[in-house]
Amino acid sequence: MKQIMQGLLVIGFVLMATGAGTLAYFSDTETSSGNTLTAGTLDLKTGILTLGSTAYTANLTPNAGNDTTGQSLQALTSVDLAKLATSNDIRYNTNKWEQYVYNDTEYLEFQFPDIPSGATVNSAVLKFEWQRQASISGARLKIYDGSTWQIHTLSLPSGITDQNDTIDLKSLYGIDTASKVNALKIWFQAIDGTGNLLTKHNWVQVDIGYTVPTPTTVWSDGVSSTWTMSNMIPGVSTVSKTVSLKNNGSINEDHVEISFSHTLAEGTPLEFGYPVSVPGDMARYIEITSMTYGGTDLKAVLTNANGNGWKDLEDVTLPANAAVLDDLSPAGGGTDFTMSLLFRGEAPNDLQGDSLTTTVSFTSNQHTSQ
């Protein structure tokens, strides 16, 4: 019996050792975190073209010219022109002035670079620096604006010193448009009692302050007051505007849909003897004279759904035109919608004082089923 128990104890220890071995296996767990699933976006932006302006100052020094003193015509060289570009002691010297009276065969001519043709000229000022030799008894400038010559008499320098003149070309001589600036020529002329003296020229510069139109498209999540007409006159009042569209989202769109809705505010007081107007009563008299999207002529495919003989703002709200205004090409990086309107001459008296508010909705759709 004692031997049997010893044997059982041995078996027991073996089993316990076997169990302890099973519990000792190692394991290691790692995680994948930060997994974020974000839906893409369709973000249709509308934009209106606004016309601002940008101001510039152009300091124009001569870029061409001629010298006819000394009984010969000489074109000013680049070296000559460089002497006229700054106020320093490096001067351009004419030949001898040989006339005792002003004569248009003898002059020193300056021509200038152009500014943008569409610019608005705000200021035009000539800075003119020169010297004379003693017997030069008179000097003047002749100013040409493309059609007319005008004369400005110069004060004579005292001795052999620089004479600096600042001349307001805009207020004194009407150099007030880009075309006049771009046609500008200035002649210097002098008369000499002895017929053998010259003049020296140091600095010739025309400072032009101007602005140019700067068209800018302002993008936003919707625009307002795009097509507006106030105090409309039947048969006369018109409006034409453009709204730009672009997809600012992260996924591609399949197509764009355009829809219209109207509300009407009745004029005060209510027209005697007429019923209260509804939006369609006024919308049918506002003709769509032009409607394009991305270069596609939408007016051409619109149906005159109300049968009045023209295509109008009521027609675009009727079911017959729903398909025409759907499945339009994607806005992508930029597409324009342009619409022109006319208040028809057939508008009846009961519309006097009424106000139609039209909402044009542009919807960007991801899928063909939408």
What are the extents of the domains in the chain? 54-213, 224-365
The CATH number of the structural domain formed by 54-213 is 2.60.120
- pLDDT > 60? residue 168: yes
Contact 5, 324 (CB under 8 A): no
**Cβ neighbours of residue 49 closer than 8 Å, sequence gap 6 or more:** 215, 216, 217, 242, 244
CB 360 within 8 A of CB 260: yes
> Does pLDDT of 22 surpass 70?
no
Encoding tokens for residue 73?
A: 């015509």
Termini Cα distance of the chain? 91
Q: Compute the distance between CA of residue 137 and CA of residue 50 in angstroms, rounded to an integer.
A: 56
What's the chain's Rg over C-alpha atoms? Answer: 42
Structure confidence at residue 264 (pLDDT): 82
pLDDT score for 33: 52
Which pLDDT band, with edges at 50, 70 and 90, does 13 fall under? very low
The two structure tokens encoding residue 170: 């805009």
Q: pLDDT (tens digit, 9 = 90+) per residue, 90-136? A: 999 999 888 788 999 999 999 999 999 999 999 999 999 999 887 88
Token pair of 204, please? 């010739």
What number of other Cβ atoms are within 10 A of residue 279's Cβ?
19
pLDDT band at 201 (very low <50, low <70, confident <90, very high): very high
Q: Which helix (H) or strand (E) holds 14?
A: helix 2-23
Residues 6 or more apart whose Cβ sits within 8 Å of residue 222: 46
Q: Torsion-angle region of residue 140: left (phi > 0), alpha (psi -120 to 50) or beta? A: beta
Per-chain mean pLDDT for the chain: 84
Pull the structure tokens for residue 335: 């597409």
Q: How many CB atoms lie within 10 A of CB 40?
A: 10
Between 281 and 167, the higher pLDDT residue? 167
Residue 356: predicted pLDDT: 84
